[in-house]
Chains A and B, each alone.
Chain A
């Protein structure tokens, strides 16, 4: 990751380029009479307009007129790419987040607790018009990339796949696409979009789509990608809920078999054996990186496979007895650890090219939710045998030790996420949002919320994105700056007063200074030179 900034010194003087970087600089320009790169990488600059130099903070500096003069370099694209990569790590561009492990790579400081009604809602988008019916809309989750929110909605009764794109800052619609699609009116069709290199990869109920992320223009369609498979145990599995994972030149998805599609054309490059059971249409593959090569891992009740995505070769395969639960979750890979369900147990495995070695396993009733793996911990919503009710559990990834568990009333199938050492999850069929301390499992906050059952929340730039019952999206601010912590709340004024309030308006009253809302304030009349504001704290 690289950040490159210029220090502006006076009118039109550009001084020493300040670089803050994780690795080697891509270029160094001393601006001492030339725009040559002294890093040895040959990224020399070229003057646009007059080439002048002036005294800088250290040695000389470029002198530009601030209008049409510039120093052009060949590394603009590299810098943009590095910045874009950084941005994508702050967003949630695919199912289970940027690293597909359920955790935010970067997060601002989040509030330690919420006011009674929950975190501040920033916006709520308009409802999506679909035909009412059982499981209407499916359970796909929102993703965020490039400052936009993407959502797939399965209009079953209306026989359409809907893909929409919203502005992440305001919730306004950027574009919407509707495609005719077959449905069986069951509760599949819940795949989550994957955004990579300005493309939206979406697995609908049966069809697969690749769209331009900015315009929604079709890049390719696979209609249908999945036909009815003889392995399918029931009607409800005739629609796919597997979410694309994209990398190594392929878009991979589990549609009975695992299929690798060509990114440019959507053509099937290879297929590998079905994981079996529910997983054959509901689980999603994950990437495992090993010695510079990426491999795909997916699993179900019949089979766990590791596949080379470059050619579809099966690196290893473990077969099961077909028992042990629904296997609708997505396995998580962290370094060489694999966390997944296998034969009715939540297992922690060490993966090598020879296969998965089980390190620890815990009996666990599968609740469809996908695990979180972050640093040296695994978090999961499930039913361990030593805990009577469903709980969020936390295990040490290296020792398998149960670190904490937190009982959850009325859990649902959506998956939690981790950000800023906090676990966020929906409960009670999407009617409530809970926040736990990831260190000890302590409940930090709980509040009502309008969320679509089974659709998972997403997190980007300190904001929570939730799919609503009406299939629109709501965005909430989770950051500390706009939310009041109850740990701090006793310090807030219970009575506030001021000598003067602007035109006596309530919105500028003294209380506004202490309500914890950065959007309100105390103000006085024009011409005020003396004033006081007082507060009585609890």
Chain B
């Protein structure tokens, strides 16, 4: 039974109302009365009632009509219809309209009480069910969100595993190439020396010089590759991020007179110092600046902003340009080593891969949003607090001996 359940007696006969009232109040119900259909609907609109006992004959409408209205405005109210004339048609109609029960006069009080009890029981079950369903829906939603989050994480994990596998491959490759390169360059040097003593054939000299120059180029690419494989986190100290960006700007000439590029700086002057490897960060910012410059061959605007995220103890650095943007297919692969959209020989395809690596080593994250023709936004978040120290310690301890 629902404590203090509200019962509404609907009958145009005052005597009937009072009798039923008295009996039901003794059962600790809160009892109200209405003499017409209209009054019933008004009362129920004001105060919810658990059970309505409705006489089928009312002055303004039939009990069946009232039942139909009631189910529209207060579907949870259980309706028990009371009638003087037993008719199968009306009882079927009433039940079809959602009546809880159909009682025939003269009333058996025990029957009325039992019907009310049952109606209340059912009502309670329905309400509990609904609550449970609501809860279930909510936890379902939560679960779905969890799954989505997990999937996103997994994608990221796969990406970073793939990058680290590529990194290992690159390190191994670099080592394997350095050995023959050592022989090639050394031999070339020896031959150049011998040639200088014994002959002066300009064609041979030219050939050897080209071998030397190109061999040294391979050496430079490999050195860059190794930087990717083992980013140095040696010089950890408090770094002023705004200052580091300024330094990178002074090295990479983005807004030269001929470039037509404007730089807008929105620096947070109260940025806390970041425990970081400044050389690594310089590399990150210089790389982003070079990319930005190359993305705006006809000029544009580069907006660099820095901000604090006090709640997450993060520093956010955003590079936003109005350049050519990155095609959707390329966007997925920009952090992959050797992936480049530049002409052969122009880019190593390692810039963003190393940038990604350095940001991750600092316990941070980097995200690139771009649309072809609509500019690119690179967002870097770097932890300022304990988080960054921990990730650096991990890195330092990982850096054990050679394999």
Q: Are A and B part of the same complex?
A: no
